[in-house]
Structure 1
Amino acid sequence: MDKLNGSCEKLARSLSLQFSMLAFMGLAIVITMSGNFLAITVISHFKQLHTSTNSLILSLAVCDFLLGALVMPCSAMRSVQGCWFLGELACKLHTSMDIMLSTSSIFHLSFISVERYIAVCTPLQYQSMINSVTTLFMVVTSWLIPAIFAFGMIFSELNLKGSEDFYETNVYCHGGCPVFFSQASAAFSSILAFFIPGLIMFGIYIKIYKVARSHTRSIKQQAQQLKVEDENGSRLSRQRERKGTIILAIVVGVFLICWTPFFLCTITDPFVGYTIPPTLVDALVWFGYMNSSFNPLIYAFFYSWFRRALRIIVSGRIFYRDSCQMKLYSQ
């Protein structure tokens, strides 16, 4: 901070370091936008993929795409230069979008874990519990509550409550766009938006894992005792359910790995006198952003239907008549 006029102090970084940072951040933005755009296209286009789980994955991909398109470019400018050139209103909009999309991601993943729990643990009730209305409720809730939470907190300045004097004296500067939380707001927002949903998701997937193992043992026993060929279809269906659950558990695990360091930093920094270096906080933010880049790569690596759909897109067959009816996997 410039003590003479209260303006933001531009970071003194060499051109080579700035170029390296911009190259890394630009690559992350391109991967995030292109990967999630492909995920959106695949799930939207092929009717076979219009399922409850994929509807939530589609909405999550939209969330990740918007993060890459609207939030990450401005964050890159701030990370490299250290200053904000777009004005105070744009700063509040950017911060609100950042918090909203990050919170929306964990809401989506929470609902996906609930949907997987019902599919694996209570399959007979799945059709009655998970339908178009339930899925719509999950998607709307995943967007609406984070939006109200993020925009309400930033524009009402609840994130500053209790530490206004410290913020004005030690943090605020003209031309800056710091993301600041008081002790109360840091604890409340981190626990509500990350730690509680994260623990719930972790507990749900532990339960799913135990039930899936039990199902596997029972299927093997039935196959050995009955040796009935008609069971093949049911067994394949259950195997597909378990594989889908494992993949989505990996998505959740990657999310927690990427964002946990940042939220631990956020919740502890106000209680240690804001002594954590801003450059470390900024690096952890970008480590969290990388989660939005990883998700499409996980789909491409683990889902054969995603790879098959990509080949259809690249070959141009997606423009064929009735291409949306193409089968990507056997029922």
Structure 2
Amino acid sequence: CSEFGNRSCPENFRSPGVRGVMYLFITAAFILTVLGNLAIIVSISYFKQLHSPTNFLILSMAVTDFLLGFAIMPYSMVRSVENCWYFGMMFCKIHYSFDLMLCLVSIFHLCSIAVDRFYAICHPLHYTSTMTVSTIKQVLVMCWSVPAAFAFGVVFSEAYASGIEGYEMLVKCSSSCPIMFNKLWGTILFTVGLFAPACIMIGIYVKIFTVSQRHTCEFSQAQRHTKDKKNYLSRNKDRKAAKTLSIVMLGFLICWFPCFFTILIDPFLNFSTPLPLFDTLNWLGYLNSFCNPLIYGFFYPWFRKTFKYILKGKIFNPYFR
């Protein structure tokens, strides 16, 4: 272990004041992440008017962000600030498995929401018969089970590290919870976990906005009777929802693409990416879970309204629903 150390933590190069400020800001970030997503969970769960297929998917994605803030970010905070992993190698694997799983669960949800909006706007006559509660349940099972099987299978089998010279010695001697993907699994993770879903979502949203633009032109040229106005308002509402969710998708890609891209190229650079840089990119990804409630609050009037009800304690009134 002379090359890596003997599992003892290296002397921290940060002063106590810097570590205190980092703890303060990161603690504030994960507390706000937990509270913001908890507000979404309570809003959609409590108010029956919000029980729709799209909102059930948003609810499940909020659960993902809540778990990331509640169960993952505190341990990552200690590792980042102290430059050491104090919780043992077994918990290191469990922690990273859940971390990877929740990230993949988020992008699976974004793909599902894109498909939901595609049917709502491009095939409105078939939407209610296609996106039923039963269908949504099946989609949610897939969104959680597939990433869980992938993440835990890859991490605990250590297939991701196959062929990396010196990795076994690094695991035995390091105190930093090292997880390094080889060229094969780095490419698979980037392609399956980010690139392919992103291409699918971008293609769907381009199609949605093309169809929406055509509908707008058709409605502006035709006389609008009472029924037509209702249809127009309904479709306009769907377009606004699709626009909001496309911003959520864009936020996810901006936050997580640098981290996934680093995982992809790091083995080709002989694992020369500095640990502080990789740590920073990982926290940029975590920031997405903090941003999602802000996006919903800014673009969704129903969330702002229900959030006020929650703050005022009206939801504790049994006659208020």
On the 8 A contact 2:170/2:178 being kept in 1, the answer is no
| 1:10 CA displacement | 4.1
TM-score if structure 1 supplies the norm length?
Answer: 0.93
Equivalent position amino acid for 1:187 in 2: T
Measured after TM superposition, the shift of residue 24 of structure 1 is: 1.9
Pair 1:88–1:215, CA change in 2 (3 A): same
Task: State the Cα deviation string for residues 173-198 of structure 1 (Å, max 9, x = none).
Answer: 34321221111111111211111111
Alignment RMSD, CA only?
1.5
Partner of 2:196: 196
Gaps of 5+ in 1: 325-331
* Residues 4 and 174 in structure 2, CA contact (< 8 A), matched pair in contact too: no
Q: In structure 1, what is the equivalent of residue 151 of structure 2?
A: 150
Cross-structure match for 2:297: 300
* TM-aligned CA deviation for residue 232 of structure 1: 2.3
Conserved? CA contact 2:117–2:242, under 8 Å: yes
Segments of 5+ residues of structure 2 without an aligned counterpart are none
Give the equivalent residue in structure 1 for 2:276: 279
Structure 1 Cα separation of the partners of residues 89 and 200 of structure 2: 36
Equivalence for 2:97: 96
2:252 counterpart (235, 238, 255): 255
The Cα shift of 1:236 comes to 1.3
Contact 1:33 1:65 in 2 (8 A): yes
**Structure 2 match to 1:62:** 63
Instruction: State the Cα deviation string for residues 249-303 of structure 1 (Å, max 9, x = none).
Output: 0000100010011111110011011111111010000000000000011111111
Structure 1 position 215 matched with structure 2 position 215: yes
| 1:309 and 2:312 matched | no
Equivalent-residue separation in structure 2 for 1:257 and 1:101 (angstroms) = 17
For 2:239, the aligned partner's letter is R
**Residue 139 (structure 1) aligned with residue 140 (structure 2):** yes
TM-score normalised to structure 2 length? 0.96
Distance 1:179 1:72 in 2: 17
CA distance in 2, matches of 1:28, 1:274: 29
Equivalences, count: 320
Contact 1:265 1:281 in 2 (8 A): yes
* Percent identity between the two aligned chains: 42
The alpha-carbon deviation at position 172 of structure 1 amounts to 5.6
Which residue identity is paired with 2:263? T
- Are the counterparts in 2 of residues 162 and 184 from structure 1 also a CA contact under 8 Å? no
1:169 & 1:230 partners in 2: Cα distance? Answer: 71
Residue 126 of structure 1 is matched in structure 2 by 127
Contact 1:2 1:9 in 2 (8 A): no
SS at 2:93 equivalent: helix
Q: Distance in 2 between matches of 1:2 and 1:255?
A: 41
Report the CA distance between 1:35 and its aligned residue.
Answer: 0.2
Deviation at 1:210, TM superposition (A): 0.7
Tell me by how many angstroms 1:64 deviates. Answer: 0.4
* AA in 1 matched with 2:154: M
* Equivalent residues of 2:30, 2:74 under 8 A apart: yes
Map of 2:261 onto structure 1? 264
Paired amino acid for 1:209: F
The structure 1 segments of at least 4 consecutive aligned residues displaced by more than 6 Å after TM superposition are: none
Q: CA deviation at 1:5?
A: 4.5
